[in-house]
């Protein structure tokens, strides 16, 4: 782990000593990896039960987490689904080239709850999980910043950048991370010929037959002229005699 990231994590532990007196709380950390092509992968560790309750891991009480875990699975599944919908609506990936909508989501559900229970972690209400989302940044983007839902509370956001550098900083609840500077290659200019199919879209299937038809028409016209015109000239000569 880079020394800067480790230092920030130690500072966070010092800033939030109340977490030790509550149930085993989990710090929420977002790990974002951006490759040179602008593809980003984001992994957010969460406390599944607190997430389903719409609270931070520190604010959720043992009693309400236990009641949710021991209650009807239908209610737990619905709360997880509702939390996932809220999360998708409230996450914002912002670049200097515009807002980016993640194209892929992996959100915790009942299957993830059962997988954690199978590990027999004690106490049972300690239920670590993860949210994954990914997408593509605009070509030539110079900066990126991510805002997570306010309900997650203060978080740590760590960016692994295309040039191998890392950037890590705590982010207050509901706020944007510090602007992270990227070094993505600029968008490639497209030649007019390459752009033609994209510009015409599905019309390409209509244009090709028309072009072929024109070529055949010109060829037929050439053959017609090469044979008919000499015949007309001969007929005109005979007529003049």
Q: What is the DSSP letter of 164?
A: S
Give the count of alpha carbons within 13 A of 173, CB side only.
8
Compute CA distances 190 → 117, 197, 205, whole Å. Answer: 53, 12, 21
Q: Please, are residues 39 and 45 in contact by the beta-carbon 8 Å criterion? A: no
Predicted pLDDT of residue 139: 86
Q: What residues does 213 pair with on adjacent strands? A: none
For tokens 């983007």, name the residue.
141
Predicted pLDDT of residue 225: 54
Predicted pLDDT of residue 207: 47
Q: Could you tell me which residues come within 8 angstroms of residue 74 by beta carbon, excluding any fewer than 6 positions away?
A: none
Q: Using CA atoms, how far apart are residues 142 and 46, in angstroms rounded to an integer?
A: 29
User: Between β-strands 98-100 and 143-147, what pairing exists: parallel, antiparallel or unpaired?
Assistant: unpaired
Token pair for residue 64? 């309400």
Predicted pLDDT of residue 132: 98
CA 93, 106, 158, 52 torsion-angle sign:
positive
Predicted pLDDT of residue 226: 55
Q: What is the DSSP letter of 176?
A: B
Q: State the alpha helices, DSSP H only, in the chain.
A: 3-15, 48-53, 62-70, 73-90, 110-118, 192-200, 204-240
Would you list the DSSP string of 111-135? HHHHHHHHTT-SSTT--EEEEEEEE
For tokens 């299937």, name the residue.
205
The H helix count followed by the E strand count for the chain is 7, 10
The list of the chain residues with pLDDT below 70 reads 1-26, 185-241
Q: Please, are residues 168 and 188 in contact by the beta-carbon 8 Å criterion? A: no
For tokens 């043992």, name the residue.
62
Predicted pLDDT of residue 188: 60
């Amino acid at each position: 782990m880079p020394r800067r990231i480790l230092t920030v994590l130690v500072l966070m532990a010092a800033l939030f000593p109340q977490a030790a007196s509550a149930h085993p709380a989990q710090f929420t950390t977002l790990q974002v990896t951006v490759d040179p092509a602008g593809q980003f992968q984001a992994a957010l560790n969460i406390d599944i039960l607190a997430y389903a309750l719409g609270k931070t891991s520190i604010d959720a009480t043992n009693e309400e987490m236990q009641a949710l875990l021991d209650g009807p699975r239908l209610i737990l599944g619905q709360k997880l689904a509702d939390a996932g919908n809220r999360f998708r609506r409230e996450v914002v990936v912002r670049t200097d080239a515009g807002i980016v909508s993640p194209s892929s989501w992996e959100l915790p559900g009942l299957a993830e709850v059962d997988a954690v229970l199978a590990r027999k972690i004690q106490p049972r209400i300690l239920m670590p999980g993860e949210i994954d989302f990914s997408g593509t940044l605009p070509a030539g983007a110079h900066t990126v910043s991510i805002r997570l839902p306010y309900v997650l509370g203060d978080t740590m956001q760590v960016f692994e950048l295309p040039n191998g550098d890392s950037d890590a900083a705590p982010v207050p609840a509901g706020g944007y991370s510090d602007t992270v500077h990227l070094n993505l290659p600029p968008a490639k200019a497209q030649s007019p010929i390459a752009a033609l199919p994209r510009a015409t879209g599905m019309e390409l299937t209509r244009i090709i037959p028309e072009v072929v038809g024109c070529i055949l028409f010109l060829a037929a016209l050439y053959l017609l002229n090469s044979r008919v015109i000499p015949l007309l000239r001969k007929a005109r000569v005979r007529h003049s005699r």
